[in-house]
């Protein structure tokens, strides 16, 4: 069986999710196009790198990501660092001819994303940006219904990603609140997931009109590099640092297909944990999804009899996208891990079949252009056209 050797950089939260996916992928998808082999894990913190090597079952570890780039046996560079390191690592990996799985958002800025996309294209490698929520079977089912015309022409939509882990002002100033490390706040961190799902379902965005706000201007400085996502609190004596990114971002969108919608992202919505939703209205019906009930797609078809019409749940299972590989009974439970396992399968398959993966660096770049337009619109308070991709 062919093996694909993985080098993973940044041994925090996402390293755990990706490592489980490499191990679990052949258990779900069989036969597999190739078996992922976990060769080297890197973290700038040696203690973290060493522990992750044992815990996530890698062959070896290092504190310098160049060791992965320079290892001729490594086929895939998996980038799980905070956003500010994505571009430098990805461009070096592309030049070394390695395939790249990069966590989202692709980069700090659209300019960086363009360089990453162009380096990948020039070196003819396979790329994937880890917007894994679109790989939830219910989201794929929504795509199938839209493509089949089951809800007709799309009129309008709304999307949300709401969390509350930073609503408490004592939730520390991790890298997710520092522009030079993260690029933007709720917009880049979670809003881009919704942008990816809606762009996947509805096509390219044309223009946006946005409002962004920073509710908590300073926070206690967090010790260490790993973001505890609000689980460690600062106290009154902790030194404070300035937040220079958005806590909340809300924008209207006009799509190139003429449909209109709204997108909201905040990490300060008390009571919301991972509230990723969309609702799409068409001329012949509606679709609704809520990740907190991710086995279900809510559907309503206009041609149902008058006395039966209304939203109903389709529980995804063997008859739905990725159903053969996942669990044999609908509603047995799709989790975050499964979305990462599906992502891993699609990526390894694209590498072995030498086809494009999706969302790839071109899509990641398109999403950075949307984020750029959103931030520009929030500043100018005017409708702002999304720039075109420079090929
Ligand atoms: N797809 C998703 O649902 C999802 C969820 C969470 C995070 N993410 C993305 O994944 C990436 C990582 O986030 P996380 O939550 O795992 O972060 P984290 O804070 O848990 O871990 C980051 C790790 O990277 C290490 N690191 C930092 N700079 C490094 C460098 N130059 N070289 C090697 N190691 C370095 C840190 O020491 C830390 O251990 C981010 O881009 C984030 O936006 C995606």
Closest C-alpha to ligand 1, atom 7? 14
Closest C-alpha to ligand 1, atom 15? 13
Give the pLDDT confidence score for residue 263 in this predicted structure: 98
Residue among 41, 58, 83, 103 to mutate when testing ligand 1 (max atoms within 8 A of CB): 103
Residue 83 Cα to ligand 1 middle (Å): 7
Tell whether 115 and 252 lie within a shared domain. Answer: no
Q: Is the pLDDT of residue 390 over 80?
A: yes
Spatial separation of the C-alpha atoms in residues 151 and 324, rounded to whole Å:
25
Q: Is the pLDDT of residue 237 over 90?
A: no
Tell me the backbone φ, ψ of residue 390, rounded to 5 degrees: -95, 115
What the block records as the tokens of 253 is: 């969108």
CATH number at residue 126: 3.40.50.720
Spatial separation of the C-alpha atoms in residues 225 and 359, rounded to whole Å:
28
Give the pLDDT confidence score for residue 230 in this predicted structure: 81
Query: Average pLDDT of the chain?
Result: 97
Mean pLDDT score, 306-313? 97
Spatial separation of the C-alpha atoms in residues 341 and 388, rounded to whole Å:
32
Tell whether 270 and 126 lie within a shared domain. Answer: no
Closest C-alpha to ligand 1, atom 27? 81
Give the pLDDT confidence score for residue 254 in this predicted structure: 98
Q: Is the pLDDT of residue 236 over 90?
A: no
Closest C-alpha to ligand 1, atom 25? 10
Tell whether 71 and 151 lie within a shared domain. Answer: no
Burial class (CB in 10 A: 0-12, 13-18, 19+), 325: middle
Spatial separation of the C-alpha atoms in residues 96 and 76, rounded to whole Å:
10
Tell whether 188 and 246 lie within a shared domain. Answer: yes
CATH number at residue 240: 3.30.360.10
Asked, for residue 89, whether it belongs to a domain, the answer is yes
Specify the ligand 1 atom closest to the Cα of 130. Answer: 1
- State which residues form the domain around 58: 3-133
Q: Is the pLDDT of residue 336 over 90?
A: yes
Strands 248-255 and 240-242: unpaired
Spatial separation of the C-alpha atoms in residues 25 and 78, rounded to whole Å:
16
Give the pLDDT confidence score for residue 227 in this predicted structure: 87
DSSP assignment of 122-153:
HTT--EEE--GGGGSHHHHHHHHHHHHTTT-S
- Please state the domain count of the chain: 2
Could you tell me the sign of the dihedral formed by the alpha carbons of 230, 234, 235, 241, in that order?
A: negative
Spatial separation of the C-alpha atoms in residues 105 and 88, rounded to whole Å:
14
Tens digit of each residue's pLDDT (9 = 90 or more) over 145-189: 999 999 999 999 999 999 999 999 999 999 999 999 999 999 999
The percentage of the chain sitting over the pLDDT mark of 90, rounded to a whole number, equals 95
């Amino acid at each position: 069986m062919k093996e694909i050797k993985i080098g993973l950089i940044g041994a925090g939260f996402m390293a755990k999710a990706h490592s489980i996916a490499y191990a679990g992928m052949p258990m779900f998808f069989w036969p597999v196009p190739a078996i992922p082999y976990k060769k080297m894990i890197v973290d700038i913190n040696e203690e973290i790198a060493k522990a992750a090597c044992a815990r996530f079952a890698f062959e070896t570890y290092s504190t310098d990501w160049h060791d992965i780039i320079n290892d001729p046996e490594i086929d895939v560079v998996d980038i799980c660092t905070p956003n500010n390191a994505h571009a430098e690592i990805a461009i070096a990996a592309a030049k070394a001819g390695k395939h790249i799985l990069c966590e989202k958002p692709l980069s700090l800025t659209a300019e960086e994303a363009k360089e990453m996309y162009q380096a990948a294209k020039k070196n003819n490698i396979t790329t994937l940006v880890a917007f894994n929520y679109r790989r939830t079977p219910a989201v794929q089912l929504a795509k199938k219904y839209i493509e089949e015309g089951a809800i007709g022409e799309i009129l309008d939509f709304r999307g949300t990603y709401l969390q509350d882990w930073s609503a408490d002002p004592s939730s520390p100033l991790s890298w997710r609140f520092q522009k030079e490390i993260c690029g933007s706040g709720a917009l880049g961190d979670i809003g881009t997931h919704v942008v990816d799902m809606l762009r996947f379902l509805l096509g390219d965005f044309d223009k946006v009109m946005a409002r962004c706000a920073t509710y908590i201007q300073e926070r206690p400085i967090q010790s260490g590099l790993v973001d505890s996502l609000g689980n460690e609190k600062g106290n009154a004596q902790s030194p404070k640092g300035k937040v220079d990114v958005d806590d909340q971002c809300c924008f209207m969108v006009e799509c190139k297909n003429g449909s209109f919608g709204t997108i909201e992202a905040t990490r300060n919505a008390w009571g919301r944990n991972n509230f990723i939703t969309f609702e799409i209205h068409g001329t012949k019906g509606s679709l609704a999804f809520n990740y907190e009930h991710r086995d279900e797609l809510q559907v309503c078809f206009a041609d149902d009899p008058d006395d039966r019409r209304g939203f109903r749940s389709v529980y995804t299972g063997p008859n739905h996208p990725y159903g053969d590989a996942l669990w044999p009974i609908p509603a047995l439970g799709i989790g975050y891990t499964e979305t990462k396992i599906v992502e891993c399968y699609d990526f390894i398959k694209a590498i072995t079949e030498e086809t494009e993966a999706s969302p790839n660096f071109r899509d990641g770049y398109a999403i950075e252009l949307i984020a750029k337009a959103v931030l520009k619109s929030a500043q100018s308070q005017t409708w702002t056209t999304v720039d075109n991709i420079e090929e």
